[in-house]
Amino acid sequence: MDEMVAFMNYRIIPSAPLICSSSSKETKDEHDKAPQSGIDGILQRLADVRRDMSKLKLELTPFRHKYPYEKVLTSSEEREKRIKSRQEYEKMDNKEKARRQMEFDASDFEGYCQGLTSYVEHFEFITLVSPMHFTYYTPRQIPHYLATYGTTLQILSFKIANIDLDLKWPLKVYGVVAARDNVDRRRNILFLRERGNFQEITQEKPFLCLTGPSRAILAKDPVDLEVQLKLKGTTASEDRVLITKRCQYSGYHTDNGLYTLTLNNRICTTELSLQQLYCQSVQATFLRVGGFVKGNTSPFIHGGRVACSSPPHGGQGTAPPTQVVLLDSCYCDGGKMPIGEEDGYLDLSRHVVSVELRRVRDVSEELEETLNVFIEAYSDSSPDSPPKVSAKADFMVKPQYCGISEHECVLAGSTVKITIAWSPILRTNKVIL
């Protein structure tokens, strides 16, 4: 500041009088009493600023030890600082390390949620786009600028693969697992349970009972995946965070599109198994499965399982299992199959899957059968032992661009009816139809 004032006093000279001159003596006297030039005003203001800064500096002196001035660290100082921080971290016990990591994950997730405000009003808002948006159209009526048969992300399973520290099986898990795509950037729920409706996870049954997605996940652009799971304690105050993570799936090219996304911390390891369908695909909504005649014996008296999968592409040989489980009585209350008493239809856990569109020949419009449906009935067995299959049936389904299809199969002498709704995927919800 002093150097600036000295410089202006020495170097800045007005090129012309800043006050008009007058031939009269009276005007000349007034001019002598006026400030010498506009520079004086500037210098006065600089002096006032310097005085105010000195005053503020004195007022902040008592807090100097709490808020030291920042200084630019050299590379060696920065390296020493990182080494010291690492040494302090290594001295912590595992519980303290886990606590530190949990705090970091929570802070990272909070920042991520705040960043979503430019896309959605609130990060917890759930997608309202229907998986049957174009079901009741005819193929020629579907507007190409609103619908797509693009690549999708198939969610296969979510597994708690390992636990550490003081955690013990079984785990009473509740919380949310969700995905976000560019259709509306809202949560597409894969798993959602409140504290009072927790799922008990055992080492023998480590999979979450998924209920979604509620519509196909469009994977043309990166997909955000969110995991917020907690463990129920004796009281609400004793509840613990199991894992809080967020990540982005950008499409990892593998031979069959299968990929396992591992999310872990110091108390658990989780695995999200998924499959990217690179070909054109549609979304299939299972509306009804069952339809047993009232009074007849159901083949699911001891439980059962409903699943589906896509057959491998030609030339790939035997592909690993990629089944999407729509319902498994092992994960239902009491191990019983949820069947409607009046209509005999099953209450599926999941309803929506993505199905590839493969043409019989490149030049043909005829589609291959690319959806394999599996239905199994369990026999009477001990609750602690793995279920045994007493009867099973499977059949192939040819997908449709839109509309509804009905199918039947025979399981243990009973006819099972299946109704499926077909629809392409809405590109974005930002347009009004």
On whether both 235 and 321 belong to a single domain, the answer is no
On whether both 291 and 168 belong to a single domain, the answer is no
For 1, the 3-state DSSP assignment is: coil
On whether both 235 and 285 belong to a single domain, the answer is no
Count structural domains, the chain: 3
On whether both 246 and 289 belong to a single domain, the answer is no
The pLDDT tens digits for 269-292 are 999 999 999 889 999 999 999 986
Least confident of 18-27, 115-124, 144-153, 345-354: 18-27
- Among candidate residues 214, 246, 270, the one where a domain is terminated: 270
**Runs of H (alpha helix) within 91-211:** 94-115
The pLDDT tens digits for 188-205 are 999 999 999 999 999 999
Mean pLDDT in residue range 313-324? 61
Question: What pLDDT is attached to residue 351?
Answer: 98
What's the maximum distance between 2 C-alpha atoms anywhere in the chain? Answer: 126
On whether both 54 and 98 belong to a single domain, the answer is no
On whether both 304 and 266 belong to a single domain, the answer is no
Q: Which of 101-105, 109-113, 197-201 has the highest mean pLDDT?
A: 197-201
First-to-last CA distance in the chain? 65
Q: Is the pLDDT of residue 160 over 70?
A: yes
396 occurs within a structural domain: yes
Mean pLDDT in residue range 229-256? 91
On whether both 190 and 313 belong to a single domain, the answer is no
Tokens 């597409």, located at residue = 188
387 occurs within a structural domain: yes
Q: Which of 15-19, 138-142, 176-180, 378-382 has the highest mean pLDDT?
A: 176-180
On whether both 218 and 103 belong to a single domain, the answer is yes
Q: What is the C-alpha separation between 181 and 250, in angstroms, rounded? A: 11
On whether both 183 and 284 belong to a single domain, the answer is no
Residues in the chain: 433
Question: What pLDDT is attached to residue 382?
Answer: 78
Mean pLDDT in residue range 347-368? 88
304 occurs within a structural domain: yes
On whether both 214 and 97 belong to a single domain, the answer is yes
306 occurs within a structural domain: yes
On whether both 186 and 231 belong to a single domain, the answer is yes
Q: Is the pLDDT of residue 57 over 70?
A: no
We report the CATH number of the domain holding residue 333 as 2.60.40
DSSP class of residue 333 equals G
68 occurs within a structural domain: no
Q: Which amino acid is at 48?
A: D
pLDDT band, residue 344 (cuts 50/70/90): confident
On whether both 295 and 413 belong to a single domain, the answer is yes
The reported pTM is 0.79
The pLDDT tens digits for 115-157 are 888 778 788 899 999 999 999 999 889 998 999 998 999 999 9
Mean pLDDT in residue range 378-389? 85
Question: What pLDDT is attached to residue 49?
Answer: 80
Mean pLDDT in residue range 226-236? 97
Structure tokens belonging to residue 180: 């976000």
The pLDDT tens digits for 392-408 are 999 999 999 999 999 99
142: how many CB neighbours lie within 10 A of its CB? 16
Residue 48 belongs to what domain range? 2-63
Mean pLDDT in residue range 53-78? 60
* Class of residue 113 by CB neighbours under 10 A (exposed 0-12, middle 13-18, buried 19+): middle
DSSP class of residue 335 equals G
- Among candidate residues 249, 270, 291, the one where a domain is terminated: 270
84 occurs within a structural domain: no
All residues at 6 or more sequence positions from 135 whose CB lies less than 8 Å from its CB, including other chains: 285, 402, 403, 404, 421, 422, 423
- Among candidate residues 229, 252, 270, the one where a domain is terminated: 270
Structure tokens belonging to residue 409: 């199969």
Please give the backbone phi and psi of residue 314, each rounded to the nearest 5 degrees, phi first. Answer: -60, 135
